Amino acid sequence: MISFIDEHRSVPGVEPICKVLPIATSTYYETLAKRMDMDRVSARARNDMAMKVEMRRVFEANFRVYGVRKVWRQLKREGFDIARCTVARLMRSMSLRGVIRGKPIRTTFVSAYLIPFYSEWAEDVRRSSVCLEVTGCRETAKWTSIWTSRTLVMSDGWT
């Protein structure tokens, strides 16, 4: 959001953009100040920046296959004091994922005898769906809601 404001601030200015976006003007200026002066950044953020570099190095050095646990173990071997949950959080924020071996597990599937029920239910939803356009705080926001009164109940005859 800060980069968007930086790109478009020349024409309307910062304050009108911040009024439209859900961000306070003071937050924008505080972020700019933190970019200029690293002493204003919190200790956790500074530590995270340093650990991200090390985690990226370990991840790349091991052919991009290490997951959270192996990256954490390698960092511990190298003498870094970091929690495994911190490694997980930072790897998630950097979109780093380890390789999963084996065939993926298929957890959901549709049985042949359920297909008629699902297709009939989908047709009812298409027929009875209601779209609501709500224009309140933002003109571009569109909220869509699907209402249906049909419920899918399957019974074996005992209930």
> What's the pTM?
0.58
Chain segment 77-130, per-residue pLDDT in tens: 999 999 999 999 999 999 999 998 888 777 776 666 666 666 666 666 556 555
Instruction: Note the pLDDT of residue 132.
Output: 46
Answer yes or no: are the C-beta atoms of 134 and 143 closer than 8 Å. yes
**67 close to 98: Cβ distance less than 8 angstroms:** yes
* Percent of the chain predicted with pLDDT > 70: 67
Question: How much of the chain exceeds pLDDT 90, in percent?
Answer: 58
Supply the pLDDT for residue 120.
Answer: 67
Question: φ, ψ for residue 145 (rounded to 5)?
Answer: -130, 140
Burial class from Cβ neighbours inside 10 Å (0-12, 13-18, 19+) for residue 120 reads: exposed
d(CA 10, CA 70): 47
pLDDT number for residue 78: 98
Give per-residue pLDDT as tens, 37-54.
989 999 999 999 999 999
What's the confidence (pLDDT) of residue 102? 85
Of 128, 118, 56, 115, nearest in space to 87 by CA: 56
